[in-house]
Structure 1
Amino acid sequence: MHSETVQLLGEFLGTFVLILLGNGVVSGVVLKKTKATGAGWIAITLGWGFAVMMGVYVSGFMSPAHLNPAVTIAMALIGSFSWSLVIPYIIAQFLGAMVASIIIYLMYLPHYAETDEPADILGTFSTGPAIRHTFSNMVSEIVGTAILVIAILAFGQYDVTKTSGFSPLLVGAVITAIGLSLGSTTGYALNPARDLGPRIMHAILPIKGKGGSDWSYSWIPVVGPIIGAGLGAVLYHAVITFVSK
């Protein structure tokens, strides 16, 4: 295992790349007068799948490439990760997400000026529900993140994941699958750093006509993924423990 500093650098860089490419594709699709304006949900889900894949590639040789506070907490819950590193990892993940948000803002600056819909501007930073329904929105984030963690743990049961460089492809594939199948209700945050870090930057950055940052919804993409990741990890770990006896 690399030193703590190297691990934190890996989490920062991996999350930075994840958000830069992930929110980058959203910005291209929803902001006005880009070459991708109106490309739609398929482009967004594919873009996010590739974004997560590249984030894992960038960081995987330095850290476990959690890139997600919910995953970090879940791994600690089942004893696969040290609790002493949970807070430092989460800080590194949030910083990576926030710095990436600044870069996206600078890249798309003229397109923000052309976009007059506050919801579209906020959507380039954080998620929001298609229909605002607290219970269903929470269930969506819990289920989606549980599937993500179960899939990550399941990949480790196959020899194919031991092939150098193959695991990030699988993680990107499951993110795409979740986005296509489960993500259209809330925008599938699945990751507190992915949502809250950029949402904070939305509140700070001087974007004309941006509107509010929807803080009344902001707790769902934080609490839901943490619950979902924990449930997924504990349940799958229990199954593996049972079948291994």
Structure 2
Amino acid sequence: MGTILIYEIMGTAMLTLLGCGVVANHALAKTGGHGGGPLMIHWGWGLGVFAGVWAAYKTGAHLNPAVTVGLLVSGADEYAKGIPITVGTTLTYFAAEMIGAFLGAVLVWLAYRNHYDQTEDQATVLGTFSTAPGIRSYGWNVVTEVIGTFVLVFIILNFGNTPVDLGPLAVALLVVGIGASLGGPTGYAINPARDLGPRLAHAVLPIKGKGGSDWGYSWVPIVGPLIGAIIAGLVVLMGF
């Protein structure tokens, strides 16, 4: 369990540091990458996944409770390095993913501390930590997250059926593709830890004029990805 905690915390922190970091670079005032646009964000998140997977490679690099749930539901006996997929290891992965996501967001704040002070718009500040919908419609926002997460988890579960180790680059490119194709409506959390951990960091950090953390929406990027992961796991369990 200790190995899972160490590597998954490191990997998820790396993912969140580079992912939330690219959003901060795009959105915050007076940064070198200000206004870089959505493609910069998609590639930044993809490369964040790439780095995170390498950092947590020894424990399978779940980095995402949705991936962990998908593995559990799919009936996998083990995923990587002989680590069994059980309720106990699943809960350990959950804890590590949440801690790592929180720490990664704190590191982003430290890196961009002066730029947060120069950014007055509260929604922009929150957007560097957590996701928000372009059009707030909770039911449809959930549907978007379900679809995006299904794609992520279903493809990851099928990587194990290929004759070669596709590795971190394949997962990174998959995330870039999901962001570019399905990221517009909700900001594609597709990962409960990626959204909730940084949202908690936003809530507790002493950010100048930060405003609220939009807890009314926070359940959407948790429930949607978990539903998508369960569906993906069941589809794989049925042999597809």
TM-score by length of 1: 0.92
The answer to whether the 8 A contact 1:8-1:63 is kept is no
Post-superposition offset of 1:74: 1.7
Instruction: Identify which of 70, 76, 83 aligns with 1:74.
Output: 70
Percentage identity across paired residues of the two chains? 46
The answer to whether the 8 A contact 1:126-1:198 is kept is yes
The answer to whether the 8 A contact 2:4-2:92 is kept is no
In structure 2, what is the equivalent of residue 151 of structure 1?
155
Q: Structure 1: give runs of 5+ residues left out of the alignment.
A: 241-245
Instruction: Identify which of 9, 13, 20 aligns with 2:6.
Output: 9
The answer to whether the 8 A contact 2:74-2:233 is kept is yes
2:56 corresponds to 1:59: yes
Q: How does 1:1-245 map to 2 (within 5 A)?
A: 4-60=1-57, 62-80=58-76, 81-161=85-165, 166-240=166-240
Number of residue pairs matched? 232
Measure the CA separation in 2 of the matches of 1:181 and 1:37. Answer: 23
Give the match's secondary structure for 1:106: helix
TM-score by length of 2: 0.94
Q: Structure 2: give runs of 5+ residues left out of the alignment.
A: 77-84
The answer to whether the 8 A contact 2:71-2:157 is kept is no
Measure the CA separation in 1 of the matches of 2:91 and 2:14. Answer: 20
User: Any runs of at least 4 consecutive aligned residues in structure 1 with deviations exceeding 6 A, and if so which?
Assistant: none
The answer to whether the 8 A contact 1:24-1:124 is kept is yes
Cα RMSD (Å) of the superposition?
1.0
